[in-house]
Structure 1
Amino acid sequence: GADEAAADATRRWCDGTARPLEGVFFGVKDIIDVAGAPVTAGSHTTGDRVAVTDATAVARLRAAGAIPVLITATTEFACGAPRNARYGAVTNPWDRSRWTGGSSTGSAGALAARLVPLALGTDTGGSIRVPSALCNLTGIKPTYGLVPRTGVASLSWTLDHIGPMARSAADL
């Protein structure tokens, strides 16, 4: 649906009804549901599960005009190890001999490689902050509960946070 959403964004810009994030492409970590997209949590054990509805965070970004265009790799069940059986390691675009760090590894890699200007990550023990630091990005771990976690595979419901990542604080 990205092509249709982009055409709608163009129409909205032309007729003066653009929303705050109109036409901004974004990536979504592979534990966050995007309707119609495979969401595997980086594991072979999940099979090829396809999300039925958007996670609340994705729905809110869509409502603001943003367009999800890719599901980004994560470590298996967002546990944070560099090697993943399903995806392999996501290398750091600044130095391909290094890892991007943390479980929001694909979101950081996609941002640093300039595939998208915005991505969603999750942070339980540093998984937004570490890859952001290692890839020269900016990420926010919001106040607990500020961003609803509905539609997100949980690692630790008492510690999980959903947050944005971008190439700069100004972008966020």
Structure 2
Amino acid sequence: MKFILLSAIATLGLSACTANLSFQQLPFDAGDGTINSPAADMEPQMADRYIVFSSDRRRRQDIYLYDVVERRLIDLPGLNAQDAIANHPSISQDGRYIVFAMIRQGRSGISLYDRQTRQLRNLTNNLQAQVRNPTISADGSIIAFESSVNGQWDILVYDRSGRPLDVPTDPR
């Protein structure tokens, strides 16, 4: 049996984060039925009962969602695309919203998936810059990510609808 040590983000916020460390003993499956597989499972993030991660299980890098309570992978219709590379996922506390970085046709973007409506939206479609490392607030209303829009890596903050938020950059 394979063991996984997960650093789980329980509460995400712009002013403070509370991190919990949990140890999960989960079954191994040579197929796609569980979280432990022979594939490379990367960047796990945990919120409440869910673990979201990227994996190369189907010979492409996709986003997966595992329910720790039900001990199974959850179907995410409309999230993964054959012509895209998905990575660095983050999930809202209730598991409704998943944000992740996606590269399609050589262009990076930050995508938001709503599990309730099964809709996927590119939040940075109009941003002419490279983007990476998104994270989402616990309630799913705020997304922060890195952007090269100013020729360096800066943090941008958007609301869930894809509008940039005016966040002061001077900490004084």
Q: Same fold (TM over 0.5)?
A: no
Question: Relative to total residues, which structure has the larger strand share, 1 or 2?
Answer: 2
Q: Please give the TM-score of this superposition, normalised by the length of structure 1.
A: 0.30
Q: Larger C-alpha radius of gyration, 1 or 2?
A: 2
Higher relative contact order (CA 8 A, sep 6+): 1
